[in-house]
Amino acid sequence: MGKSDDLVVYDARLSSRFLLGTARYPSPAILAEAIRTAGAEIVTVSLRREAGGSRAGESFWRLIRELGVRVLPNTAGCRTAKEAVATAQMARELFGTSWIKLEVIGEEDTLQPDVFGLVEAARILSDDGFCVFPYTTEDLVVAERLLDAGCRVLMPWAAPIGSGRGINNLFGLRALRAHFPDTPLIVDAGLGAPSQAAAVMELGFDAALLNTAVARAGDPVAMARAFSLAIEAGRAAYLSGLMEPRDMAAPSTPVLGRAFGDGFEA
């Protein structure tokens, strides 16, 4: 979209609005090609999945360095604020970044965030110098509490992680965008199709983060490209100004000056 439409989050200016996860790809080579094709500048990494000192961890880090992308470690799997804070501190030491995608899971079936633990952990980590990217719901009160805790970006879900359901609460996401017009909002979780990614971008959200829909596709590289195009199209549509829905039809061809009658009259 050009420099005038760059996404600014914390200390980074990004030309891409597509954030990509790195889990469950068929191979490191396919992961690398998917990241390149997506044009992603930020990738998420689970501390529990990648150990820097292991052979797998060394191979992963070599790949990330070659791609030149920024790593956003996450606290996936954490169930309490205390556990999430400890994981974030280990991630900062291992990955060498103060960025952290903060997850505190409160419900097993939906993997819904525990918003109470989330706010608690966000405050502790922000006070400790972290740049916190909180995985949250579309709740306006929780969003306000997270911003008060020091977060400068919010990552609301569209639907439960890995569900591919798309937008579950359209009203809630619209309200979130309207109430926080100056806060970067990145839709995280639940997007299963490029059309769903385009839809959230058309609402005015600033970026989309996804993993499963690309990693588990029949052709992850082709799917990464499809999502990249959809995110770009949705952003362009939002900036261009979408027409408002109407209850009645409206002719697209002007009626004024139209010839009437079935034939010519003398």
Spell out the residues 6+ positions from residue 84 whose beta carbon is closer than 8 angstroms to its own.
75, 78, 102, 103, 104, 117, 121
Ligand-binding site membership of 53 (annotated): no
**Residue 133 DSSP code:** E
Ligand-binding site membership of 253 (annotated): no
Q: Is 101 a catalytic residue?
A: yes
186 CB-contact burial (10 Å; exposed 0-12 / middle 13-18 / buried 19+): buried
CA distance 140 to 146: 10
Do the Cβ atoms of 47 and 90 come closer than 8 Å? yes
CA distance 227 to 197: 7
Ligand-binding site membership of 189 (annotated): yes
Ligand-binding site membership of 211 (annotated): yes
Choose among 207, 201, 150: nearest CA to 17: 207
Question: Which of the residues 92, 101, 145, 177 is marked catalytic?
Answer: 101
Ligand-binding site membership of 218 (annotated): no
Residues comprising the binding site?
Answer: 162, 189-190, 211-212
Cite the annotated binding site for 1-deoxy-D-xylulose 5-phosphate by residue number: 162, 189-190, 211-212
What is the set of active-site residues? 101
